[in-house]
Amino acid sequence: MTNTDCWISISENSDFSIHNIPFGIFSTKSNTLRAGVAIGDQILDLVVASELGVFNSLDFNPYVFESKTLNDFIALGKEITSKVRTIIQEELTNVDSVLKTDSSVFVNQKEVQMHLPVFVGDYTDFYSSIEHATNVGTMFRDPNNALLPNWKHIPVGYHGRASSIIVSGVDVHRPMGQTIAPDAKEPTYGPSKRVDFELEMAYIIGKKTSLGDTVKVENAEEYIFGKVLFNDWSARDIQKWEYVPLGPFLAKNFASSISPWIVTMDALEPFKVAGPEQTPKVLPYLEYKGERNYDIELQVAIKSESGEETVVSNSNFKYMYWNMAQQLAHHTMNGCNINVGDMMGSGTISGKSTDSYGSMLELSWAGKNPIQLKDGTQRTFIADNDTVVMRGFCQKDGKKVGFGEVKTKLLPAKQ
């Protein structure tokens, strides 16, 4: 199956190939929020598709496509959702498809508004890139002992704020907070001077557990529906003052931005790769077999107020030290329950080279090495009216599966 087999025109470089079929929630001027699938530069309206009888062979209530979120659809389980995806691929490559009989089944992506694809009840953020953790530890602790003693033994994480997760295109205001100058004895209150992006990916829980249950590494991916791009906004000066002794709080919870299309684990299966060697050996409940990392190319660009865009980072999800299966196994090993729609952030994704770091904190090395933009200005952190754009895709054997982008503008502080 190739893009040329599809009777919908798809650009060779499109993120939304016939191999992808990502799910999202959209609305138009004439239609309320509903579920759709991205294909090329179009959206397949799943409400209309179901009315045409496309999914009649499956036993589920098609009203799930009329919901304001994908939670009810995802909760049907992969025995249904994977078949829905396969049927869509079959219809899009069938020249006699019933989808050709109703022109309203397709909508141009430029004519819609995208919404949060799921209701996020809970959000957890991990700290799973060894390159990122080493960089931060080198900057703020000891270059010769950058990682804390537990880092190679557990996937470190913390519980974030689900209410401030926003979809691409929603602007963010520079946060206010307490900070303290290097030589000052007392903190001051005002706008953060060190607003930063964090290049992350997040996965969406697709299967719930009960309180007291655990998820094993070997079947963890059964509980993951798909993935999105994730920009975990951070205020580094606020973070530095507040994180001791309990960890991230106001520096992290003012906003986190996600891409609107959820790329399923089915679509990502061909892009599995081996992860980095884990030394020392992990405890038995974190041991895994096979390839559990994913080769996903990632990019971050800053678009200044002048309108010019500068790529500042090229990274890859395959660098992650702790994989998603280990993260989920560790998250639930104490009996913590998970629910459909819960979101798990990977933590900042940094590579080994300086141009693959996943935050301005690292790229500018805490402000010491300014980044030159194409419009002639420099950045150590994100300036007011800058737009941060993150993109990601997989490519192998002529197949491309992409995530689109997550784009967010930083507005001045509300004082």
CB 327 within 8 A of CB 128: yes
Catalytic residue (one of 19, 132, 330, 331):
132
**Neighbour-count burial of 165, counting CB atoms closer than 10 A to its CB (0-12 exposed, 13-18 middle, 19+ buried):** buried
132 given a catalytic annotation: yes
Cα separation, 386 vs 410, in Å, equals 6
The answer for residues whose C-beta is within 8 angstroms of residue 314's C-beta and 6 or more apart is: 297, 298, 299, 351, 355, 356
Cα separation, 405 vs 229, in Å, equals 7
Cα separation, 141 vs 136, in Å, equals 8
Strand ranges (DSSP E) for 32-164? Answer: 34-39, 42-45, 106-108, 113-115, 123-126, 157-159
Sign of CA dihedral 46, 294, 286, 198: negative
CB 118 within 8 A of CB 69: yes
Radius of gyration of the chain (CA): 22
Sign of CA dihedral 282, 219, 273, 138: negative
CB 258 within 8 A of CB 242: no
Query: Which residues belong to the active site?
Result: 132
